[in-house]
Amino acid sequence: MPASPTISLSAVLSLAAVLGLGPILAFAEDAPRPPAPIGDFAARVAHIDQLLATDLSDAEARSLFSELRGLLLARVGDDVVSESDLYLGAIHGMLQAVNTRHDASVSRVEHALPPATMMLSEQQASQLRRDLDGQMTGIGIDFRLYPEQGVLLVMEVLPGSPGDRAGIRAGDRILAVDGIGFGGARVDDVLSLLQGSEGTSLTLRVWRGDGEGQSMFVVALKRDVFPVRSVHDEIGPDQVGWLHVSQFHARTAAEVEEGVLRLRKLGADRLVLDLRHCQGGDLRAAVAVADLFLAKQAVIVRVVQPGVGEEDLVANREQVIPEDLVVLVNRWTQGSAEAVVSALQEHARAYVIGERTMGAGRVETLLPVGHGLVLRVASVRLESPTGRSWQGTGIQPDQSLEVESAVAVQGPDGDPPVGMDQQFQTAVHYLQSERE
């Protein structure tokens, strides 16, 4: 009869760490059991990546899990931990394992984003669904985090939001929220500080300006629910219309159509679709935007859902917007926005200028699991019309062009980068040359 496999001590210690509990010693049943050391041990920690590197079969891992659960219940004691505690801790460990695997394939920029898979309350999930409907709960600022400097740079203040009413401006630097700074923080740390329930209060410590004109002050405001406009439009030089999409929600396609109609009335006969810093959003809304520019039945994106199947999302309307088109992108163009870029590029409908995009070729879905909990999981894989994935690699523009400044696409009043932004000027020049 073959000997039972020996279970590595590091694997047991690592799994105990995943469950958030102290180390437990265990040995295979056929191995000698020396007396367990008892004392005050040095502060060493086993990390999740060590556990995931352990070479175990699925059956061996299940056996180890069962044995460790029994050991913890028996040796720690029910005065400290219950069986439900261990199961909930295991849920946390499972999500952590998924996120660790996700992190292995994401781009450098995408590492700054919150974990791809997590457990939410039904209230939190409802807030996310409301975001996709074009409403937001919070203070209404779009920001970029610079953790080395401990600064939030305000990129945009949404009109009608609490931030707008409190006088926050694009270009302001937020140093603290309720006295908590941002040194070494992640984006999810910041969001947990800024987001909250409608009517709750917070204070911002703000630094405005430079040199002799700089000032430091504190702003008190309350979180609120407000509608979010996702499209800004303006006429540029040489009758080129500019449309910047900040995110995709249920109203975005209608806002793009409305913007194009306004630009046509001002004489625009060519367009720049600006997806720089676009944070993605509702995939179906992004498909509706791409639909405006493409011929009917053109494949926009292939959606692959493990356990569900795959589906090609296609243009359902005749082409609504036929004007010559340039798309602007940068390293912060992500997710659903990348789906629009890939469709317009592969169908030769637009010329793409800027930086390689983020490379977020997975988007999330919300799956209710009962008990008032919802699983937010990045399980939906996206592919271009030709079946190409951009996960971890991004989409390469037709013309690469970086801009040194990290300042917002819009100015303090929401103005486009007309006359001062190299990428926009290059787009205008390209559209001019196409007419010659």
Mean pLDDT for 258-267 is 97
Domains plus CATH for the chain? 9-31+42-103 (no CATH), 135-227 (2.30.42.10), 231-435 (3.90.226.10)
What burial class does residue 71 get, using C-beta atoms within 10 Å of its C-beta: 0-12 exposed, 13-18 middle, 19+ buried?
middle
| Residues in Cβ contact with 27 at an 8 Å cutoff, skipping those fewer than 6 apart | 7, 33
Q: Of the ranges 39-48, 141-150, 238-247, 356-365, which one carries the lowest mean pLDDT score?
A: 39-48
Predicted confidence at residue 160, as pLDDT, reads 86
| Residues in Cβ contact with 325 at an 8 Å cutoff, skipping those fewer than 6 apart | 270, 271, 272, 273, 293, 344, 349, 350, 351
Q: Cα–Cα distances in Å, from 311 out to 249, 250, 299, 376, 380?
A: 21, 20, 10, 21, 11
Question: Within the chain, how many helices (H) and strands (E) appear?
Answer: 11, 18
Residue 425: other Cβ atoms inside 10 A: 16
Contact 232, 243 (CB under 8 A): yes
Predicted confidence at residue 57, as pLDDT, reads 87
Structure tokens at 157: 């203040």
Q: Of the ranges 150-154, 272-276, 370-374, which one carries the lowest mean pLDDT score?
A: 370-374
Q: Taking 70 as the threshold, does the pLDDT of residue 48 lie above it?
A: no
Predicted confidence at residue 26, as pLDDT, reads 43
Nearest-angstrom CA–CA distance, 386 and 162: 44
Q: Quick one: pLDDT band at residue 97, thresholds 50, 70, 90? A: confident
Greatest mean pLDDT among 32-36, 147-151, 340-344 lies in 340-344
Nearest-angstrom CA–CA distance, 351 and 272: 10
The one-letter code for the residue type at 19 is L
Q: Taking 60 as the threshold, does the pLDDT of residue 410 lie above it?
A: no
Q: What is the mean pLDDT of the chain?
A: 82
Predicted confidence at residue 109, as pLDDT, reads 55
Higher pLDDT, 104 or 297: 297
Predicted confidence at residue 36, as pLDDT, reads 66
Predicted confidence at residue 107, as pLDDT, reads 56
Phi then psi for 254, rounded to 5 degrees? -65, -40
The torsion angle over the Cα atoms of residues 396, 399, 404 and 405, rounded to 10 degrees, is -90
Strands 240-245 and 231-235: antiparallel
Predicted confidence at residue 419, as pLDDT, reads 46
Residue 145: other Cβ atoms inside 10 A: 19
The one-letter code for the residue type at 227 is P
Structure tokens at 303: 């959606």
Nearest-angstrom CA–CA distance, 137 and 130: 9
* pTM of the model as a whole: 0.68
Which H helix or E strand runs over 144? strand 141-146
Q: Quick one: pLDDT band at residue 300, thresholds 50, 70, 90? A: very high
Give the angle 341-126-414 at the CA atoms, nearest 5°: 45
Q: Taking 70 as the threshold, does the pLDDT of residue 161 lie above it?
A: yes
For every residue of 1-14, which 3-state class applies, written as one string? Answer: CCCCCCCCHHHHHH
Higher pLDDT, 337 or 406: 337
Predicted confidence at residue 217, as pLDDT, reads 94
Predicted confidence at residue 66, as pLDDT, reads 84
Q: Quick one: pLDDT band at residue 40, thresholds 50, 70, 90? A: low
Rounded to 10 deg, the angle between the 252-265 and 283-293 helix axes is: 30
Q: What is the DSSP letter of 34?
A: P
Greatest mean pLDDT among 20-34, 115-129, 248-262 lies in 248-262
Q: Of the ranges 217-226, 256-265, 360-369, 385-394, which one carries the lowest mean pLDDT score?
A: 360-369
Q: Taking 60 as the threshold, does the pLDDT of residue 390 lie above it?
A: yes
Q: Taking 70 as the threshold, does the pLDDT of residue 18 lie above it?
A: no
Predicted confidence at residue 12, as pLDDT, reads 39
Predicted confidence at residue 9, as pLDDT, reads 38
